Structure 1
């Protein structure tokens, strides 16, 4: 029975602080720092596979059906290369059945090359409708540039609004930590796109903006629990700020996992159905960035946001002094019990919320009765004993 209570799933659901996430924050900094360096290096040296909307070019569209059956992307690529002696930028099949179309994107082609390409596609593939059903359009790079500019402006406004809100609702340390986590999500998501070579389209930019809200939402939930656990902490000697924050992460850990899984299921469905069955390229671009960003956002809310908030908070001398009182109390208890003195990071005390609230009430009652700040040391042990009872 004791063994079943100690397994991972039990500790996840109980949320009793058994996972020392905040205490081991340095290893998370190193791990995610290395990932960030790889992503930044890829963005700087490898760059992005920008779509036609950002680079400009020509888009050719034709039916994906012919008299002999469905036209494959490989056949289109071979016909394109044969006609122009160069390869297309991308080929996408959009839709299903008789309504399916093939979209070919390439560098900007002049009128002569477009005519030559249409004739080649018609002769090699014989799509439904013939050459009259093969359309072309020019795409300007300025439109993609406008989308990018507006996205960057929206990103800046988002960061500013988030910083103001969190600073007012929580405190400046949590606001900075949340922005660090969100920025971390954006860089890693962009870096993965650069590493893998996914095509960046306007849908990708839009998807990148949508993941910011998800990352922030999960972080705010954890911070709200941190705020609850650390209320009145300076007058207590039960646990340090880092331990109270770690408890908050544990208490919301199962919720974060469940929320992330539930949120990722529709995105996976969008990716599988929209791309696998319907063949819609725009849905693929949107689903890929959301899948990557939401997964990274869930991890950053657990391993980055709260640890950074703790490091910033522990710069405050008041919380440093409170941590020293916690260690002194534990050393005192260890000496009395004849046990070994252990560090605060290695202690997992009772994390029952009712016990925490009961201790808060006792602290407030004693403070009000004595008219002095919350007690520390041996004198407090004497006052803690209830009056009216004899002690042996």
Structure 2
């Protein structure tokens, strides 16, 4: 743990770092491939919509000696439809059968009572209409749309429009991947899934805003200096907040992983899968997109600006001139008396990577 803490401190100070921005085409390619896979899965397989969205009946039986597979077989024979059976904590069974009306539901209930050898009045039956699910879905889409608009407006005001666009792309990226995973694994989409999808938007945006805030502080008066390009400052912003983003994501993922793999997988509480899978995938995708998608995209958009382009040319020209003279140009050096931009550079270095532990200077000697 001490090594990890030391690494985080060195990343924050800029002593070490990884070139995320320089390899952005790789990250773009990976994200495009994953997104295309998710879209194809949605187009081919679709989503396994829960009974709340397609309508049907839900039966809850008392504790019986039959296994989950046997109860599923009984329900499918009685109804003529596919059935989803979940074993509850007290040993009772929850059976979902889609496409049933009241008369068919009564028939299935009677047959289940005979097969399970339990009194018919002990089996609870509940009809669910598809209109309720449609209302939930419509409200979710409305909430998602309002959220996206508010995010774009806020980020455009607090930061700038390029960051707002990059954050919006990252959010769409996260939602598409999460929904695509649901299609690939065939998990049932329920109201819990919708809640999970709306929840991950906040987590995804949090990591992105942390990096954007560091980038905003580090690029104040950026065009007045000739030490760093915009992409280099953006890369420093990612590295300086990297350990914080990773720690936040891991801490959030651990309890969600417990729900998904222990609660849903080992203990068989299938209803936990509805929300835990969307949270798990969404949290991981959100951390990925804030580092590998949102910030590199801001750098790409920003370097199309004429002022930033001109600044980049000055930076590269200065380095080329220094290289031609055989001089070593230290871009992290805090002394550069030729440009009159020391104020910016010291402030940017403090905001992005922290003050250096040691700086160049003339050593003082004691004579005695």
Write the distance in 2 (CA, Å) between the matches of 1:349 and 1:259: 31
**Contact 2:76–2:83 under 8 Å retained in 1:** no
State the Cα deviation string for residues 199-240 of structure 1 (Å, max 9, x = none). 111110111000000000000000111112212211111110
Secondary structure in structure 2 of the residue aligned to 1:137: strand
Matched residue, 2:294: 305
| d(CA) in 1 for partners of 2:295, 2:50 | 37
User: Contact 1:93/1:279 (CA < 8 Å) preserved in 2?
Assistant: yes
Contact 2:187–2:273 (8 Å) recurs in 1: no
Deviation of 1:80 after TM superposition, in Å, equals 2.0
Normalised by the length of structure 1, the TM-score is 0.79
Q: What is the CA distance between 1:277 and its match in structure 2? A: 7.0
Q: In the alignment, what sits opposite 1:90?
A: 84
* Structure 2 equivalent of residue 275 of structure 1: 264
Structure 1 position 123 matched with structure 2 position 119:
no
Please state how far the C-alpha of 1:9 moved relative to its aligned partner: 8.9
The CA deviation at 1:120 is: 3.0
Determine which of 61, 73, 92 is the counterpart of 1:78.
73
Q: Name 2:352's counterpart in structure 1.
A: none
Q: Are the aligned partners of 2:162 and 2:302 in contact in 1 as well (CA < 8 Å)? A: yes
Q: 1:320 aligns with which of 285, 302, 309?
A: 309
Aligned residues: 338
Q: Is it true that 1:249 corresponds to 2:238 in the alignment?
A: yes
Q: CA deviation at 1:118?
A: 2.8
Superposed, which structure 2 residues align to 1:1-392 within 5 Å? 13-15=9-11, 16=14, 18-63=17-62, 65-66=63-64, 69=65, 71-84=66-79, 86-94=80-88, 96=89, 99-111=90-102, 113-127=104-118, 130-272=119-261, 274-275=263-264, 279-337=268-326, 349-350=331-332, 363=340
Whole-angstrom distance in 2 between the partners of 1:313 and 1:167: 14
| SS of equivalent to 1:363 | coil
Deviations 1:86-119 (A, max 9, x none): 353311122x2xx342111112334554344333
CA distance in 2 between counterparts of 1:111 and 1:55 reads 15
| 1:83, distance to aligned residue in structure 2 (A) | 3.1
Tell me by how many angstroms 1:125 deviates: 2.2
- Residue 103 of structure 1 aligns to a residue whose secondary structure is strand
Does the C-alpha gap of structure 1 residues 88 and 45 become closer, same or farther in structure 2, counting only changes over 3 Å?
closer
Evaluate the alpha carbon distance shift between residue 239 and residue 57 of structure 1 in structure 2; reply closer, same or farther with a 3 A threshold: same
Partners of 1:210 and 1:134 in 2: how far apart?
35
Alpha-carbon distance between aligned partners in 1 of 2:275 and 2:300, rounded to the nearest angstrom:
35
Give the gaps of 5 or more residues in structure 2: 345-368
- SS of the equivalent of 2:198 reads helix
Partner residue, 1:390: none
Question: Cα distance, 1:140 vs. partner?
Answer: 0.5
1:77 and 1:87 in contact (8 A); partners too: no
Deviations 1:135-188 (A, max 9, x none): 212111011111111111111111111111111111111111111101111111
1:386 — aligned with what? none
CA distance in 2, matches of 1:324, 1:104: 67
Cα distance in 2 between the residues matched to 1:156 and 1:119:
45
In the alignment, the residues of structure 2 paired with residue 229 and residue 322 of structure 1 have an alpha-carbon distance, to the nearest angstrom, of 15
Q: How far 1:76 moved relative to its partner?
A: 0.1
Q: Contact 1:58–1:138 at 8 Å: present in 2 too?
A: yes
Q: CA contact under 8 A between 1:18 and 1:348: conserved in structure 2?
A: no
Larger Rg: 1
Distance 1:199 1:236 in 2: 55
Per-residue deviation, 1:72: 1.8
SS of the residue corresponding to residue 136 of structure 1 reads strand
For residues 80 and 348 of structure 1, the distance between their equivalents in structure 2, rounded to whole angstroms, comes to 73
